[in-house]
Structure 1
Amino acid sequence: MPISATRSKHRFVQEYPVNASAKILYPYLASASGLRQWFCQDVQMVNPHIYNFVWDNQPHLAEITSQRTNRSVRFVFLGPERRHLPDANYLDFTIESSELTQEVFLKVVDYSEETDDIELTEMWDNLVQNLREQVGG
């Protein structure tokens, strides 16, 4: 999910049922150690709000710009010198639950240059399957 200022962006949204409570699921979405277990090659916390995501041995810095414990987290990817870019790539993870069925869902919003919905669906299906294996759901 590298950053580029020249290509058009695409907002991919998908919801996945997860058999885990928000309290169990949230640390896998909002901590470097949790993300490292299912999401990418490596994740390091640079400071409490900046994370370094590593894909294909390439670092990608992102800032947590919003966070609600056991509910949601947004990572906005930064440009050179850790600066915010106009129309920056971002990832949103939101935990939603149905009061009627008690089911828990993970809503993923991936805003980036990747425009192939089939490829994005396959990628996120695989990632969320990794997550489900980690949380037992």
Structure 2
Amino acid sequence: MPLSATRSKHRFTVEYPINASPKILYPYLASASGLTRWFCQDVKIDPDHRLNFIWDNQSHYAEISSHRTNKSVRFVFLSDQKRAVPDASYLDFCIESSELTQEVFLRIVDYSEETDEIELQEMWDNLIQTLREQVGG
């Protein structure tokens, strides 16, 4: 497919207050076992340290492109052949704390081909509700 025919990406950013410390929250965002508890059906890690996110019995491969313990993690999605692609979809989870109020927020950046803001908001609202139930926040 020529580059001009590729679908354009959309950056969706949303932030949620979470009643849990960054140390409790981070493993739910950055580990296969944590992500499986709220984010997708399953996450498997292959020998090359790529992650296989499984939704609706479909595999979606990703690599962690950056992470800061108890702060943030970015998953960059790969092609079906598990290769990097230009302008790849990615998912950022960033934990932010307010020094003043001691509140913890989770900022999510979902960069993908999905452009329906209402659908994305509803999907993330539901996922975060499940995450809050898992972390007790």
TM-score (norm: length of structure 1)? 0.94
Moved over 6 A (4+): none
Task: State the match for 2:12 in structure 1.
Answer: 12
**Cα distance, 1:66 vs. partner?**
0.0
Residue identity in the other structure for 1:131: L
2:83 counterpart of 1:83 = yes
Structure 1 vs Structure 2 CA RMSD: 1.1
* Sequence identity (%): 75
Letter in 2 for 1:76: V
Shift of 1:11: 0.2
Structure 2 CA distance, aligned partners of 1:88 and 1:47? 22
Q: How many residues align?
A: 133
Instruction: Determine if contact 2:60/2:80 at 8 Å carries over to the other structure.
Output: no
Q: 1:33 to 1:71 in 2, by over 3 A?
A: same
Matched residues in 1 for 2:100 and 2:80: separation? 46
Q: CA deviation at 1:48?
A: 6.8
Identify if the C-alpha distance between structure 1 residues 42 and 12 changes in structure 2 by more than 3 Å, giving closer, same or farther: same
Q: Matches of residues 32-51 of structure 1 in structure 2 within 5 Å?
A: 32-47=32-47, 49-51=49-51
What TM-score, normalized by structure 2, do the two folds share?
0.94
Cα distance, 1:125 vs structure 2: 0.4
Aligned 1:1-137 pairs, distance under 5 A: 6-47=6-47, 49-137=49-137
